[in-house]
Amino acid sequence: MARKDKEKIFRLQNRSLITLTNPKSSIADQFRTVRTSIEFSNVDTDLRSVVVTSPNPAEGKSTITANLAVVFAQQGKRVLLIDSDLRKPTIHYSFHMENRVGLTNILTRQVTLEQAVKTTSQENLWVLTSGPIPPNPSELLGSRGMSALLERVKNEYDFVIFDSPPVLAVTDAQVLSNLTDGVVLVISSGNTQTDSAKKAKELLESVQAKILGVVLNNKKEQDYPYYYGEK
């Protein structure tokens, strides 16, 4: 393995789940604020499943998704975090898990949900990693098997949160938005271009996705580290 690849894996494996390692920190508190905003963003219906995405790669969506899953579980809800980024999955790094078996194995009927779901050190939180990278991610996510899986997990868990690929890169987030109750869009301060954010919003709206709000990531520490606002 090349040194560059090893360094990348080391960084991913040491990605901080601050809501677990330092739950009393100001950043962890901001995640709880985002959690509350999500819960109150759709008061007319029971919000059970959410997709987290971003316009482009490297904007922090996977770290935010993992921490949001933790704070929902800390609230006492039974939470399932699904890594539906079937192109560049990283959730297994955040939780120091193997990724030999996961979502793709379920969708191709190789294993059952019970065989693929993994426990975590956080009470009430389970993780379904991506599994092996398939040649047809969009087709798998838009399959009947995916719809059936979502209906099942919504009956077995209180809240299901998906980490999905960036909107501008592929159509996967749009596909998932049609299956779930809402979408949270992650924007990176000083990194995400305004045109990219607008285009991502337009693409999601074009498939009638319900955008619950936006998380502004990578703000300077003296400012609020994360900000959640309506679209």
Instruction: Look at the chain and count its residues.
Output: 231
> Is residue 66 over pLDDT 60?
yes
The answer to whether 31 and 226 are in contact (CB under 8 A) is: yes
The answer as to CATH 3.30.1740.10 being correct for domain 3-229 is: no
> Is residue 210 over pLDDT 90?
yes
pLDDT of residue 75: 96
> How many other C-beta atoms are found inside a 10 Å radius of the C-beta of residue 171?
15
pLDDT tens profile 140-194:
999 999 999 999 999 999 999 999 999 999 999 999 999 999 999 999 988 899 9
Two structure tokens written together for 122? 């956080």
* Residue type, position 152, single letter: R
pLDDT of residue 45: 77
Which H helix or E strand runs over 156?
helix 144-156
> How many other C-beta atoms are found inside a 10 Å radius of the C-beta of residue 45?
9
> Is residue 4 over pLDDT 70?
no
79 vs 156: CA distance, rounded Å: 9
Q: Label residue 73 by pLDDT band (50, 70, 90).
A: very high
Tell how far CA 18 is from the center of its chain: 16
pLDDT of residue 70: 97
pLDDT tens profile 92-134:
999 999 999 999 999 999 999 999 999 999 999 999 999 999 9
Tell how far CA 218 is from the center of its chain: 17
> Is residue 48 over pLDDT 50?
yes
Block residue for tokens 């960084």: 11
Please report, for the chain, the start and end positions of each structural domain, with discontinuous segments joined by +: 3-229
- Residue 17's nearest CA partner among 73, 68, 77 is 68
pLDDT of residue 220: 65
pLDDT tens profile 29-46:
999 999 999 998 877 778
